[in-house]
Amino acid sequence: GAVVSQHPSRVICKSGTSVKIECRSLDFQATTMFWYRQFPKQSLMLMATSNEGSKATYEQGVEKDKFLINHASLTLSTLTVTSAHPEDSSFYICSAQTGSVPEAFFGQGTRLTVV
């Protein structure tokens, strides 16, 4: 199946710094990428949907100035957590879809810890 690579898998950062998470589709063109946040033992919470070349659509309650999403190409989307705080600590997962198949392919996730 299609492969989505997410990097880094784990990151620890200091409060107030910014962290960038990359999501790459390795063998297909991802017209749409989704970013999720998952709290321990809870469901996936959709943060935003991004289409290549256009601005991301953020879900209600998600601060777009804090969670910057860039989908600059058909194989790469990035999520930047700006001015991170301990409450931003979470598991972030991206998923990618092609235009022809609705199945979502997930990255491995990034465990962010803000200290």
Number of residues that bind other proteins (CB under 8 A): 20
Pairwise CA distance, residues 12 & 29, whole Å? 30
13 half-sphere exposure, CB direction, 13 A CA radius:
24
Q: By rule CB under 8 A, what string of x and - marks binding of each residue 49-88 to other proteins?
A: ----------------------------------------
Residue 93 within binding range of other proteins, rule CB under 8 A: yes
Q: Cβ of residue 109: shortest distance to other proteins, in angstroms?
A: 5
Residue 100 within binding range of other proteins, rule CB under 8 A: no
Pairwise CA distance, residues 72 & 51, whole Å? 9
Residue 104 within binding range of other proteins, rule CB under 8 A: yes
Residue 27 within binding range of other proteins, rule CB under 8 A: no
8 Å CB contact between 97 and 104: yes
Pairwise CA distance, residues 9 & 17, whole Å? 18
Q: Cβ of residue 93: shortest distance to other proteins, in angstroms?
A: 6
33: its two tokens: 């990428």
